[in-house]
Amino acid sequence: MQVGQDAKAAPTEAPLIDPFGRHVSYLRVSVTDRCDLRCVYCMAENMSFLPKKEVLSLEELDRLCSAFVRRGVKRLRLTGGEPLVRKNIISFIRAMGRHLDSGALQELTLTTNGTQLHRFAHELYDCGVRRINVSLDTLDAEKFHEVTRWGNLQKVLDGIKVAKDAGLKIKINCVALKGFNDDELLDLVAWSHGDGHDITFIETMPMGEIDGDRNEQFLSLAQVRERIASRYSLSASSHVTGGPARYERIAETGGRVGFITPMSHNFCESCNRVRVTCTGQLYLCLGQDDRADLRAALRASEADDVLEAAIEAAVARKPMGHDFVIERGVNTPGSVSRHMSVTGG
């Protein structure tokens, strides 16, 4: 089957409801484990990437995402690795645009490191993408090079400009890192809001072996918020994006600051998300190891009934929540062994 064709209609179109009554309406798909950067909190310097045959083809990704859309997923976020380094990814994104056109999907978006935006931003807009998250942890070129191990800040800033000119709404994602960007938090807020972008701060999560000690890097968002509140007036915002961030509005800039606090604040009660890796492993929770092999289901039959049955069975065991813990020198229990680039955040 080609990308963009729909397989035989689903046996049932009932929405996916988990055992706690939560409606699964948000799917994050990691379309590749590869990346053109090696952020120190995300990947080790020497990563071995998956052989091609293990990774879902674009046709398989289309069948998989379309099955979720038939079962009531309204928001689809592509991530990675770096989604824009996957070969022919635009053809897949364009094919997903048909679910926007039909009204089945409300939003098609992606999380990117921004290095390829100068090439693809206009096409993304053309495919129906309206909003993207761009990860940026520092505005200092040397520090950017250091945290990404070889990235070029100017290329990302140029990409952001092209994306903005193309009409894409941009949200900056910034991982708060002790001893790295804690002195830059206010500058990052001022720059983002000055350029018209909301910004969300993320706490580091204990995912995958990296080269340093995570405890050394952990900066609580309570401290981040305190720092921001020392300069700006924050007030609660009712803004919701379908994601896990809690937003506040800054009176002086008019922009929003989001906080994603998986380590210190439990947002599991309202979790409407599931994640699929580039090998088709469905994770019901970012912080748990339980998964379902949707690649086996996809490859078992050309029709989608096996796939849909596998999705349904998996959602029926979505756990209540995660139990991450970061302790000095200890990554388990309370950590997961896969890298963030596997499930894509």
Nearer residue to ligand SF4 within complex by CB, 32 or 272:
32
Identify what 261 binds: ligand SAM, ligand SF4, none; CB under 5 to 8 Å per kind: none
Element (H, E) at 69: helix 58-70
42 part of the interface to ligand SF4, by CB under 6 A:
yes
Q: Nearest approach, Cβ of 37 to ligand SAM (angstroms)?
A: 7
Q: Nearest approach, Cβ of 26 to ligand SAM (angstroms)?
A: 15
187-216: which residues touch ligand SAM (CB under 6 A)? 202, 204-205, 207
The span from the CA of 279 to the CA of 250, in Å, is 41
Beta strands in the chain (DSSP E): 26-30, 75-79, 107-112, 131-135, 169-175, 198-202, 234-236, 246-250, 256-260, 273-276, 281-283, 291-293
80 part of the interface to ligand SF4, by CB under 6 A:
yes
77 part of the interface to ligand SF4, by CB under 6 A:
no
Q: Nearest approach, Cβ of 165 to ligand SF4 (angstroms)?
A: 23
Site string for ligand SAM, 58-97 (x = CB under 6 A): ---------------------xx-x---------------
Tokens matching residue 89: 């990814």
160 part of the interface to ligand SAM, by CB under 6 A:
no
Nearer residue to ligand SF4 within complex by CB, 36 or 312:
36
The span from the CA of 121 to the CA of 326, in Å, is 37
Residue 329: count of CB within 10 angstroms of its CB: 8
The tally of CA atoms less than 13 A away on the side-chain side of residue 297 is 21
111 part of the interface to ligand SAM, by CB under 6 A:
yes
Identify what 38 binds: ligand SF4, ligand SAM, none; CB under 5 to 8 Å per kind: ligand SF4
The span from the CA of 185 to the CA of 137, in Å, is 9
